[in-house]
């Protein structure tokens, strides 16, 4: 079983999530076919949603979050 990690905004959880997908297919053409874990759930392996994130179009509906600056000079 091969896995793939992704981080994106989930409209269903209304927050950024980190997901570990189970993938199938040859390495160049692997596609997610299951969700092994998701940071929106506790424990993360207790995924209890409709898993719409398996559809790449669902994951790409929203712009990625802007990076947060941790340097004081950037804030002045």
Give pLDDT, residue 68: 54
Task: Name the phi and psi angles at 9, rounded to 5.
Answer: -80, 130
Is residue 47 a contact partner of residue 34, using CB atoms and an 8 Å limit? no
Q: Is 70 inside a domain boundary?
A: no
Q: Average pLDDT in the 3-10 region?
A: 86
Q: Is 72 inside a domain boundary?
A: no
Give pLDDT, residue 30: 78
pLDDT tens-digit readout, 35-56? 999 999 999 999 999 888 888 8
Q: Is 71 inside a domain boundary?
A: no
Give pLDDT, residue 25: 77
Is residue 53 a contact partner of residue 35, using CB atoms and an 8 Å limit? yes
Give pLDDT, residue 41: 93
Give pLDDT, residue 74: 53
When divided into structural domains, the chain yields a total of 1
Contacts of residue 18, Cβ cutoff 8 Å, sequence gap at least 6: 5, 6, 7, 38, 39
């Amino acid at each position: 079983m091969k896995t793939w990690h992704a981080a994106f905004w989930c409209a269903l959880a209304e927050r950024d999530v980190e997901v570990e997908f189970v993938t199938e297919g040859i390495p160049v053409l692997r596609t997610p076919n299951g969700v092994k874990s998701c940071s929106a759930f506790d424990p993360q392996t207790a995924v209890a949603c409709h898993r719409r994130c398996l559809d790449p179009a669902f994951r790409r509906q929203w712009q990625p979050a802007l990076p947060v600056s941790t340097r004081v000079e950037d804030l002045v």
